[in-house]
Copies of this chain bind each other. A is one copy, B any other.
Amino acid sequence: MGSSSSALNFGAGPAKLPREVLEEVQNELLSYNKSGMSIMEMSHRSPEYSKINTDAQAAIRELLNVPDNYMVLFMQGGGVGGFAAVAMNLINRTGTADYIVTGTWSASAAKEAAKYGKVNIVFPKPEKLGDIPETSTWNLNPDASYLYYCDNETVDGIEFPNMPYNPHDVPIVTDMSSSIMTKKVDVSKFGVIFGGAQKNIGPAGVVFVIIREDLLGKPMDICPSILNFTHIYKANSVHNTPATLSVYIMEKVLQWIKKNGGVEGMEKQSLEKSVFLYKAIENSNGFYSSPIDKKMRSRINVPFRVGGPNGDESLEAKFLEEAEKLRMYQLKGHRTVGGMRASLYNAVTLKEVKLLVEFMEEFQNYTLSKSNQTI
A231-271 with Cβ < 8 A to chain B: 239-246, 249
A80 in contact with B239 given A7-B35, A116-B222 (CB within 8 Å): yes
User: Any chain B CB within 8 A of the CB of A204?
Assistant: yes
Contact of A44 among B14, B239, B249 (CB under 8 A): B14
* Nearest 10 interchain pairs by C-beta: A7-B36, A205-B243, A84-B224, A40-B203, A80-B240, A76-B76, A26-B29, A78-B240, A81-B226, A77-B226
Given contacts A45-B335, A79-B240, 12 further A-B contacts (CB under 8 A): A5-B31, A17-B41, A19-B30, A22-B38, A26-B26, A44-B204, A46-B330, A80-B224, A81-B226, A83-B225, A205-B205, A205-B246
0/1 per residue, A208-240, Cβ < 8 Å to B?
A: 000000000000011111110000000000011
User: Any chain B CB within 8 A of the CB of A6?
Assistant: yes
Report which A residues bind B (CB closer than 8 A).
Answer: 5-7, 9, 11-17, 19, 22-23, 25-26, 29-31, 35-38, 40-46, 76-81, 83-85, 88, 112, 115-116, 196, 198, 203-205, 221-227, 239-246, 249, 327, 329-330, 335
Closest chain B CB from A234 CB (angstroms):
14
Closest chain B CB from A145 CB (angstroms):
17
Bound: A226/B327 CA distance, A? 34
Residues B22 and A9 in contact, CB atoms below 8 Å apart? no
Residues A330 and B241 in contact, CB atoms below 8 Å apart? no
Kindly report which residue of chain B lies nearest to residue A36, judged by CB atoms. B7
Bound: A226/B29 CA distance, A? 30
Residues A22 and B17 in contact, CB atoms below 8 Å apart? no
Bound: A336/B34 CA distance, A? 29
Residues A327 and B36 in contact, CB atoms below 8 Å apart? yes
Contact of A222 among B6, B15, B222, B335 (CB under 8 A): B222
Closest chain B CB from A156 CB (angstroms):
17
Bound: A299/B203 CA distance, A? 35
Kindly report which residue of chain B lies nearest to residue A335, judged by CB atoms. B45
Residues B41 and A112 in contact, CB atoms below 8 Å apart? no
Kindly report which residue of chain B lies nearest to residue A334, judged by CB atoms. B45
Closest chain B CB from A9 CB (angstroms):
5
Kindly report which residue of chain B lies nearest to residue A88, judged by CB atoms. B224
Kindly report which residue of chain B lies nearest to residue A16, judged by CB atoms. B41
* CB-defined contacts of A242 to chain B, threshold 8 Å: 78, 204-205
Bound: A240/B79 CA distance, A? 8
Residues B5 and A226 in contact, CB atoms below 8 Å apart? no
Contact of A76 among B41, B46, B77 (CB under 8 A): B77
* CB-defined contacts of A240 to chain B, threshold 8 Å: 78-81
Closest chain B CB from A191 CB (angstroms):
20
* CB-defined contacts of A37 to chain B, threshold 8 Å: 7, 9, 16, 329
Enumerate 27 A-B pairs (CB-CB under 8 Å) in ascending A order.
A5-B30, A7-B35, A9-B41, A11-B42, A11-B43, A14-B43, A16-B41, A22-B38, A25-B29, A36-B327, A44-B204, A45-B335, A76-B78, A76-B243, A77-B81, A80-B225, A81-B240, A84-B224, A88-B224, A112-B225, A115-B223, A204-B241, A205-B205, A205-B242, A205-B245, A243-B246, A245-B245
